Structure formats: structure tokens, C-alpha cells
Chain A
């Protein structure tokens, strides 16, 4: 790293020389101690790249941990709520993990490199929680966040871009599978994963290859509508896809100042990742079983389809008696769906049993005045957008 930068408050990613050159607006975003591009040129166009061509996003700041040892698999299966006892080599699983009270620590992805070697990617610093949890497992856990450069390559033409780049037969890779490639003489792991709800891949390599990788990708995509994408556009596509974001849609147990703000998986739409029938014990199993059996889940995370076209950022949700029953955690006028969508946390039975007569109050800023909009909303699936091409095998080629 450049010596002048040792005084900088934030870390530069190994792609910084490239991303900063591509960024026409000098608009940056803090992410886990790194500075990454918020907007390269125009957020709308970067968003469109993901739904029309290919977007490339610097994923390096994502926390990454390597978990190695003969009991690594056993540990992972104990650490997360999902049953990973049958996880195959070269596959990826979306997971959440909880504390003993059954409250969510974070969500992320587990990569099974081989049966004794796993990688965990997540949004919150996890080294201490991993170590605390691994007591007695005799495994090696290391923080490799700064040792791996990562790019997210997403969109309908992404498979073609990556084939041009050198990823032979990539179209046959199934969703949540990964494969090692040697491209231009360096190793790249490519996984068919992403945070956009579209066809897409994530690329993982040694930081010394970062700039070469960036340049080759841009060249490979020059006829395939490739464009770097910043964090603002990512927020748009992830809401459309219905993905949840730590610190936005829920608060990690590691961060929650107020213990009442911690959430169980059932409260944030992650119940499908809790496998209570898993043979072995996992952290939080007892509490989650109790919660499930006693029906004590207090909240629910739902998708909202709101009338009108003014996004309901941070809006309060009401029942027909105008009682406060929840809050919008993320909102967007969806350019693809042409719908006013939101992710919302509601107090049950609203959103679970009672789905009618739900309203939001939107404070829409209009030149120094707020226009108060009382809008009806429909409870819908949180996965607002799920195009067929996302899971198609072989993947769509251009």
C-alpha cells in the first residue's frame, strides 16, 4: 500500500486504483473500515447494468474467515442453524447463526472448499464470536478479509463476460456452486452467488491479481454492457431481490445496545434456515425450539407493495385503528417492477395472521415541506423480483 495512505482513516481495497479512476463523481462509502465507491456515474445506470448487462462491484470489505481442521465441518454445522452435514465440496450455502438465546448474530455464506476447509463471508466482524464458539473443537480460524480480493459480477450477460475472461464452461455451474480456475496464470475461485437476485457470480483471488482481474473483466465485457456499480445501486437491487442487510433490516447481537432489539431468525424471515431437526446440536437450538413450540415469536419481516410512487423510507406502519404496528426497514421505487416496494418489520399478528388494512404514513419531502401520504399496502413476498435466468442451467449466454 502507498505509504502516504498510512494516515488515512479507511483502508483502500486492492481495486482502489481502478475503482477510483472509474469513479466520475468522487462519491465514496464506508464499508467495514474500507472506503468503496458509492456512485461511479449515475446510480440509475449502475442499477440498470445489473438488470440489463453486467455490473462489477468491489466486494473486498466483506469479512472473510478461513476455518480449517479435521473438525471444521462439524464446527460449522454447530455454528450455523442450517443443516450442513451433507455439504459437498465446491458448494456454497446461505446461512445465519445465532447466540444461545436464539437471536441472530449475522447472516452470510459458507464456502466448502473441502471437507476440512471452509470459508465464511459475512457483514459483521466475527473472529471473536467464531473463536468463542470453537472452544474444544481444535480448529484453526483466521481472518482473511484483507488477504482476498473479491468482485461481484452480476447481470444477464455476466456468464458471457466471464467466459470471455477465461472461465471455461461456466454456464454449467449451478447456483451455489463454486469452481477453481486458473486465468492468466493466477488462481480465481468463482462462485455462482450474489446479492442482486439476478444471474451472477462472485470472484475471489489473491490481492496481487486484483488490478489484472479488473482490467481483463472490463475488456471481456466491453461488448456486453459491463459497468462498475457502487453501493447505492447495490441497495436498490438487493431490496428488489428481498435480501436482508445486517444493521438495516435487523441488528446483530454483537451490535445491539438495547437487548430488546435483537431478533430471532423467525422474526426476520429466516425461519427457513433454522433446521430444528438437525441431528446434532447447534448454537441457539434450544431457545429456537422453544420459541417455535410456544409460538412466542413477536415480529415478522415482510414485503410491502405500497400504493403511489413515493418511497416509504423509515415510515411507521399502522393498523386501521391507527395503532403503530411496525416500521419500514428499507424502501424503494423499483425501476424494474414499477412498484413502490418496502421491507418492513411488523408486530405479529400483523403481517402474519392480519394482512388486510395495513397502512404506512409516508413523509414525502417537497421543497421544505413534508407531504404526508397515508398509503394502503399489501403484504407480499419479500422476494419481489426473481427472474427465470437467475437459476437457469446452463446459464443464459450472449
Chain B
């Protein structure tokens, strides 16, 4: 019997794989998505690991997911609803707190409790960061140009890219002075950047968090300012830099995407781990799975990170050695861990006044940049941070679907945690020690927290690497540093979603514009694939 030939096979049912698959199916292609786990969603999942509680047990908040993608794929139809954050707070050892709110005026009022200077500087800081967001936003939708190519597409692409940085206002860009600001911003450390605006430790520490989440950089490392921008360039309905929860957990995003895919005739198949890409006469023609099945397609699209795509499921003999070398050199370093906790009630944090909306978003307790850098120093030595930076939130305070009324789900993101420990690898004992260490840290700020724990899950970078399939547990599928962004992501000369093997494509966060639950790499890749197949997309906004 002749085997069915799909138009496209996507490897990995994470949000980018499903985005790419949905766009392709919407354009009329027959698409199959293969997922190694018995659940779909990759790192955007809602899992009931303890009866009665839904865990967003990997990614936990939403901001970067492009609204154009939600619009094109009509994700609201399949139940996706974003709930904006009400605020965020850093708890202080002296019993005070520092909070930001959804309302700008409330934020300024709150900062001025700590420093009038910082409260005023916050306006200028916001303006400057917004300027950078404004430059980068159109670039997210673009396929990075190949700067060494003389194809008209690349020349115009390069001009378009340059325009957003260099052009005067009437063309949508900034002035000359601002170009210098942009270059500084992309290369500075967040510590130096914040020093130019603010005077108090607590303001700087609260803001710097966004510059280190998910990255193996410290707040004093050059390049960390860009990571902050990467966390700010998202939006919730025009409120740039805002974050929100996906109602029903992050799995609602991938669930809605897979429903969209199915409504356009696509298929998602779980428990089907792709072990290799089948290459014939220099062309990718299909994939083979661990179960011994083979699937064939005109196009194969990998949503695995660049290392897994080329070092694991592609035969090295099908690639040029220098390309393989560059893939090996691509930096994907695990630096984050997570605790997912089911709580029988709402823990009290005495330093935040009851009913203060600042307590209804992300919570932290790192008060200085020095403490944050110290946490990074531990990581460099192969230890989890003694005084970690944590990004905790209780989605169930805003979302009625995560747990029964009165019960709560708490997501605790921890920075820094190494992929490999200095004193040998991770084992069950070390994992529990790490979990206890974090629980004890939180309990210092919440006296009743420990008593409310019904169940918890500890996730080390190794767990994320093994289960989710993110190399070293790096949440961005590759560091967000200048050497690995735009036309250098993932490999110079291969930033346009095409692999060096014909008919093999990449759509993961290892490609431009990078990590986060954004969907942009998936949508960009789909556009390139469809253009190679001479298929026009109609009515899309992306």
C-alpha cells in the first residue's frame, strides 16, 4: 500500500509548532503534528497533576503571544481568554513592600512612597523602554534578512530592518540620537541601565527581574538589558509590557491552537516521538518515530530547538560540518527551575496589605541588584542560588478555573538553577533539597504558607530538558544575546526558517524572534514555507 504523503509534518506540538501548523492548515495544507509526550502543548500546558488543581507547570503567564496570531487563528472561538495582571510586588525584609499596578498613576504613587525621585524617573524610563518596544514590534513579524545575500528580498528586508532603527519619525523610526540609545540598550547590563534612571535599590531590583528571567546572565552581565525588553515587548490589548494569565492555564493557548488546527482539517498525534528526519537525495521527505512508524510529507518542520533538530533527529552526515559546529556552539544554558504548588487556601503575605491589587500579580523578595548578582554567582559555581530570585504568582486569585473556590494554585519560577550541579548530577534527594530550600524561603514571607500545601511539583532544568524537551531546560530555546538574535538566530545564514536540508524547516523559539509564548517564530516559518510552495495566505494580519 502506498503511504500517505502529507503536505507538511510538524515535529513537536508546542505553541510554535501548533501556530505554524494552524497557519498552514488554514492556507489549505494537509498537516500532521507529531508530539512525543502523551499530552500536547510542549511548555504551554495545564496539567492536573493533583486532583482538583490545574497546573501551568511550565510557562505560566502570557504577554508575548502576538494578538495578530490570536486574531488570525480566532483563538477566542476555542475558549482563549487573557486575564490581565492587577499588579506586582516585591516584599521587603523590613515588613514593607514595593508594588506596581495595572494603573500607571497608582504605580507612580506607590513608588513615591520609597523615592520621589524614582517615581518621577519611572515616567522617563517607561518612555524610553516604550521607544525600544516600538522599534522592535514590527521586526517580530519579519523574516530576518540575510545580510550576505544579494537577493532583492534580502536587500529590501535589510533596508526595512534598518529603517525601523534609523529612519526619522515620519517613516516610523527614531532620530539619530535614539539609534545610539538603541545600540546601548541592546548591549548594556540591566544594572547599568537602571542606574541611569533610579536611585533606590528596591526600584532597581523590582525592575531588573525581567532582565534575568530565563537567562543565564546576571543583572550585571552585558546584554541583560535586552532580555528586559524581550519581556516588555508583549502587550495585553495595547497595554504594552503588560502580562496576563491565560484563563484555564497556559494549556488553554495550545488547546485553542490545536482546536483551530483541527477545524482546518489538521491532525495532532500525541505519544509519537520523532527519532529521525528521513532524508532522500538531499531532501527531507518524512520522519520516523520511536514506535517504528514512518510518516511522509512534502515539507518537514521542526519545532524542536536547534540542537535537538540537528544534533538529535537529523543525521550528521546530511549536514555540513561547519554548520554542525555552529549548532553545537549555539548557547542554550539551563538556568531556571520551578515549583508548582496546590494550596488549600490563600497564603497570607503580611507585608502586603490585604486586598492590595499589588498582591494579585507576580511576587518577589529580592531587594537589591547585589543579591540578584549573588544568586547568579551561585549558578556559575554549579549550585542553585542560596538567595534565589523568584517570580511567584497565584493565577487562581484571578482565574476561577484553576482550583475550586477558595483553593489556590501557585506557580514559583526560580532563578538560578543549574542544569548540572557541581557536586554531581541531579538526583531525587537533591531535587527535594532544592524544593525544600525554596519552600523555606517563601515561608519566611508567609507564616501560613507551609501548612496550606496540599501537593507540589519540583521542576529542575534537567526535568524540563528530559520531559518537555527544551535543551538544558532553557526556556527560550537559546540565549537571547545579540550574537544569537535576528539574522544570527539560530545560525548565521540560516535565520530564514529554512534548514540546510531542502524541505526541512525550523519554527521553534531557537529562531527569530526567540523565546516566550509568542507564536511569532511559528507564524513566520509558516509564511516562508507557504511562500516556497507558492501559496498565498488570505486575510491574515500576521
The chain A residues found within 8 Å of chain B, CB to CB, are 25, 41-42, 44-45, 48, 51-53, 156-157, 160, 223-225, 307, 309, 333, 335-339, 385, 398
Contacts and interface: CB of A to CB of B under 8 A. Distances in A.
Interface stretch (B78-86, B378-386, B492-500): B78-86
B67 A338 contact: yes
A52 B398 contact: yes
A48 B83 contact: yes
Q: How large is the interface on B (under 10, 10 to 19, 20 to 34, 35 or more residues)?
A: 20 to 34
B237 A333 contact: yes
Contacts of B76: 336-338, 385
A41 B357 contact: yes
Given A52-B83, A223-B405, A338-B71, A44 B239 contact: yes
A156 B400 contact: yes
B350 interface: no
Interface in B394-415: 398-401, 405-406
Contact of A45 (B70, B84, B399): B84
Contacts of B68: 338
B541 interface: yes
Contact of A398 (B67, B71, B237, B400): B400
A292 to B, nearest CB: 34
B247 interface: yes
A51 B405 contact: no
Given A225-B400, A398-B405, A336 B71 contact: no
Nearest to B68: A338
B102 interface: yes
Nearest to B103: A42
A333 B238 contact: yes
A51 B400 contact: no
A336 B84 contact: no
A308 to B, nearest CB: 8
Given A44-B239, A45-B102, A398-B405, A224 B400 contact: yes
Contacts of A52: 81, 83, 247, 398-400
Interface string B71-111: 10001100001111010000000000000001100000000
A227 to B, nearest CB: 10
Given A52-B400, A385-B76, A335 B406 contact: no
Contacts of B103: 25, 41-42
9 contacts: A25-B103, A42-B103, A53-B400, A156-B400, A223-B400, A309-B238, A333-B238, A338-B71, A398-B405
B321 to A, nearest CB: 45
Nearest to B408: A223
Given A45-B102, A52-B81, A338 B70 contact: yes
A45 B405 CA distance: 20
Given A337-B76, A338-B71, A45 B238 contact: no
Contacts of A335: 82, 236-237
A48 B398 CA distance: 10
* Residue of A45, A157, A224, A338 with most chain B CB atoms under a 10 A cut-off: A338
Contact of B86 (A45, A307, A309, A338): A45
A52 B71 CA distance: 19
Interface in B222-252: 236-239, 247
A37 to B, nearest CB: 15
Nearest to A366: B169
A51 B71 CA distance: 17
* Residue of B86, B247, B405 with most chain A CB atoms under a 10 A cut-off: B405
Contacts of A53: 400
A107 to B, nearest CB: 27
Contacts of A223: 400, 405-406
Contacts of B406: 223
Nearest to A53: B400
Contact of A337 (B71, B83, B239): B71
* Residue of B86, B237, B400 with most chain A CB atoms under a 10 A cut-off: B400
